[in-house]
Structures are given as structure tokens and as C-alpha cells.
């Protein structure tokens, strides 16, 4: 079969979406020791989450042009629509538009090694950014929220950089990313007078993140001040995406027989300094920080709260992605070890907001890529 002439990418029908989820369950669900039935239930919960409202989550499939609704499609992926703030050289304030996050790229075993994943992802650019890459024949349906930038986390190195929209263009470029890890027994926190800290429930996390969202524009402006030649972007609001990770964390806590009233973050009382987290990982749980705003003075206090939560839920370690520059020294002093990430590699494709705009990934920075 010629990949160029006989395949299209399209939104999944209800039957195709169920088939895609069953396929995922047979692979990722099996690795997590989750039955197909439970995986389907979890998928339904995700579809009802805040991050999925208003049609913001969709499955796209690569299918034959002459049988587009077949459940024997060749590949699939899931796409999340999110608001994104961007700040380009010369702009005085960030602008708001839409971006997309791509997950669950899957090709069933019988179709692997034939180029279907690459074709799916190459055509996806035209779905997400029809203003830059119109392709009516191969993408008869496109998103109704055109993308300024799309992101993914790669488990296959720089593979997605080769999934290009057209000759001479770039695919998803990897962005160097770091992980700081504190084995629970290695956390070192000096005792002394500390500010009061309050633990956050799920609702407390949502309230805290919503209150912090306006600060992200200031963060982008600070990055611009340090290097005005680059373009910066960050996703907002942060609470819906955090709810996605929390949903997974609750499932893992239940499976590990962890306490049902575990906190999901901590905040210094009377300030906007906080740390929110989820419980993640198999077979060993980790406490993974998903958003952090702190000073060198408040960070050890928040870390200590995270350590207690990790201990109570039988986590082996605490993890932070891309710890802010102002906290790197205190992270080392408290026992954290920082290394370059080797899996779930951050990658993005910049499209711009209008036809004919610069679409090169060079000079673009994904800010606040914390999880």
C-alpha cells in the first residue's frame, strides 16, 4: 500500500475511539497490571475531567481513504487542546492562543515497521496547524482551535523530529530537560525556625494553581528580560492538567493501599509560595512535583512537607523536573541530585499564530515544563 495516496488522518468515530483505547489497554494497561475493563473505566473518568471539557480531548486515527471508519485502522494518538501564552521578541505582553499536547501514539504490533506512526504524526501537523500546512486531501477534518505550538513527551528519543509536515521543515524538536531526585532517606533539612506551612487537598491545589496563573505572564517577561531574542511559551491554566495527573495518582495510591486522605501539595501560609505534587510510578511510587514556586528560604519547608507525604504513602523518592535556577543550590544542599532526563523527553513543534509566520523551532523555549 502506498502511504502517500491511500491513507488519511481523521477524528475517531465512537467505535474507533473504543478500539484505540482497547489497544492501549493491551499494552500500557498490561504493563501497569491494569485489566482492559479497568483501563476502559479509567478512560471514561478522564473524558469527564476538567481537562477534557468542551471537546478538548480527541483521538485521531490513520485510516484507509476508501474505508475511513474501519476499526482496523493503522495508528492512533490522543490530542489535548490547551490555552498557551506566548511572548515573542518585541512584544511587551504575552498573547493567548491555543496549543496542543499529544499522547498515546500507538501502532498495533501487526502494523509496526511499516511507517504508519511516522505518517500519522507527519499528517498531524496539518490537523493542528492548517494555517501553516493545509492538506485537504489527507486531513479532511482539522482542529477548530488552530495550534500555535504542539508538545509531546518522547519515549523513543528524537524519533518525532523526523515526523515532518513537509520537506525542509522540522518535526518535534527535543528540549534539554533535567530531573532532580531526592531518595527519601537522603533528604537533608536543617532544623530551625520555619514559616507555617499548610497542606493542600485536591481543591486546595486547584485554588492555589488558579491564583498563581496570572504570575505566569510575569515569568515569561522575566525570561524575555534575560534573553530578548527568543520566543517563550507556557501552558495555562495549570489546574486542569494537574487534575489529569492527580487522577492517575489516586489510582496508584489505591493500588498501593496508600491513605485516602493524602495531601497533594503544601503552601507557605499567607504567601504565594507553594509546591504541588502527585503520586506516580510503577512498581515503585514516587512523589512527583508538578508545580513549584518558592524561594531558597521556603523551599526546604515545602520539601519537608513533601518528604512527610512521601513517607506516609510509601514513596521511594521525591522528583522535580527542571527545578528553577534560583533553587538549584538549595536543591543540592538538601540532598537532591540533578541529571539530564533520559526518558519522557520534552519535545515541541512551533507553528506560530498566523499564515506565513516563522515556524522554525530554533529560538523557541518551552517555559515551566515541570511535568
For residue 54, give every residue at least 6 positions away whose Cβ sits within 8 Å of its Cβ, in sequence order, or none: none
Mean pLDDT confidence for 94-103: 97
If one counts every other C-beta atom within 10 angstroms of the C-beta of residue 16, the result is 22
pLDDT of residue 208: 97
User: Cα torsion for 42, 47, 50, 55, to the nearest 10°?
Assistant: 160
List, for residues 270-319, the tens digit of each pLDDT value. Answer: 999 999 999 998 778 999 999 999 999 999 999 999 999 999 999 999 99
Q: Are 3-177+344-366 and 178-340 the same fold in CATH? A: yes
Which pLDDT score, from 0 to 100, does residue 242 have? 87
**pTM of the predicted structure, to 2 decimals:** 0.93
10 Å Cβ neighbour count for 194?
Answer: 14
**Can you give the residue ranges of every domain in the chain?**
3-177+344-366, 178-340
Taking Cα atoms as reference points, which of 99, 82, 366, 5 lies closest to residue 242?
Answer: 82
Q: For the segment 21-67, what is each residue's pLDDT rounded down to a tens digit? A: 999 988 877 777 778 888 888 888 888 887 788 889 999 999 999 99
For 155-187, what is each residue's pLDDT tens digit? 999 999 999 999 999 999 999 999 999 999 999
Place of cell 527545578: 323
From residue 287, give the alpha-carbon distance in Å to each of 182, 200, 307: 10, 14, 9
What is the fold, at CATH topology level, of the domain defined by 178-340? Aminopeptidase (3.40.630)
Question: In CATH, which superfamily holds the domain spanning 3-177+344-366?
Answer: Gcn5-related N-acetyltransferase (GNAT) (3.40.630.30)
Distance between CA atoms of residues 156 and 135, nearest Å = 27
**Pick from 145-154, 197-206, 237-246, 270-279: least confident:** 237-246
Predicted pLDDT at 115: 96
Amino acid at each position: 500500500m502506498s502511504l502517500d495516496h491511500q491513507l488519511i488522518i481523521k477524528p475517531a468515530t465512537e467505535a474507533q475511539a473504543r478500539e484505540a483505547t482497547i489497544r492501549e489497554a493491551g499494552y500500557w494497561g498490561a504493563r501497569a497490571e491494569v485489566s482492559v475493563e479497568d483501563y476502559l473505566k479509567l478512560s471514561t473518568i478522564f473524558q469527564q475531567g476538567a481537562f477534557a471539557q468542551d471537546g478538548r480531548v480527541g483521538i485521531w486515527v490513520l485510516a484507509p481513504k476508501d474505508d475511513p471508519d474501519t476499526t482496523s485502522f493503522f495508528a492512533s494518538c490522543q490530542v489535548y487542546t490547551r490555552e498557551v501564552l506566548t511572548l515573542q521578541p518585541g512584544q511587551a505582553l504575552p498573547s493567548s492562543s491555543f496549543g496542543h499536547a499529544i499522547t498515546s501514539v500507538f501502532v498495533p504490533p501487526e502494523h509496526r515497521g511499516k511507517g504508519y506512526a511516522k505518517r500519522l504524526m507527519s499528517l498531524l501537523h496539518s490537523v493542528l496547524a492548517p494555517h501553516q500546512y493545509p492538506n485537504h486531501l489527507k486531513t479532511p477534518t482539522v482542529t477548530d482551535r488552530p495550534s500555535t505550538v504542539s508538545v509531546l513527551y518522547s519515549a523513543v528519543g528524537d524519533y518525532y523530529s523526523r515526523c515532518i509536515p513537509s520537506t525542509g521543515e522540522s518535526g518535534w524538536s527535543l528540549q534539554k530537560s533535567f530531573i532532580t531526585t531526592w531518595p527519601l532517606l537522603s533528604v537533608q533539612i536543617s532544623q530551625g525556625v520555619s514559616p507555617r506551612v499548610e497542606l493542600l487537598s485536591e481543591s486546595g491545589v486547584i485554588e492555589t494553581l488558579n491564583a498563581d496563573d496570572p504570575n505566569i505572564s510575569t515569568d515569561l517577561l522575566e525570561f524575555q528580560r534575560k534573553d530578548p531574542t527568543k520566543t517563550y511559551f507556557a501552558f495555562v491554566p495549570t489546574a486542569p492538567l494537574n487534575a489529569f495527573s492527580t487522577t492517575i495518582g489516586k489510582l496508584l495510591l489505591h493500588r498501593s493501599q496508600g491513605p485516602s486522605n493524602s495531601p497533594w501539595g503544601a503552601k507557605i501560609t499567607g504567601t504565594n509560595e507553594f509546591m504541588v505534587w502527585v503520586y506516580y510510578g510503577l512498581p515503585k511510587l514516587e512523589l512527583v512535583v508538578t508545580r513549584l514556586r518558592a524561594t531558597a528560604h521556603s523551599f526546604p519547608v515545602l520539601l519537608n512537607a513533601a518528604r512527610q507525604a512521601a513517607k506516609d504513602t510509601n514513596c521511594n523518592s521525591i522528583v522535580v523536573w527542571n527545578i528553577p535556577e534560583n533553587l538549584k543550590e538549595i536543591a543540592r544542599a538538601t540532598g537532591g541530585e540533578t541529571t539530564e532526563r533520559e526518558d519522557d523527553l520534552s519535545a515541541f513543534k512551533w507553528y506560530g499564530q498566523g499564515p506565513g509566520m516563522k515556524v522554525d523551532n530554533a529560538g523557541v523555549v518551552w517555559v515551566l515544563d515541570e511535568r
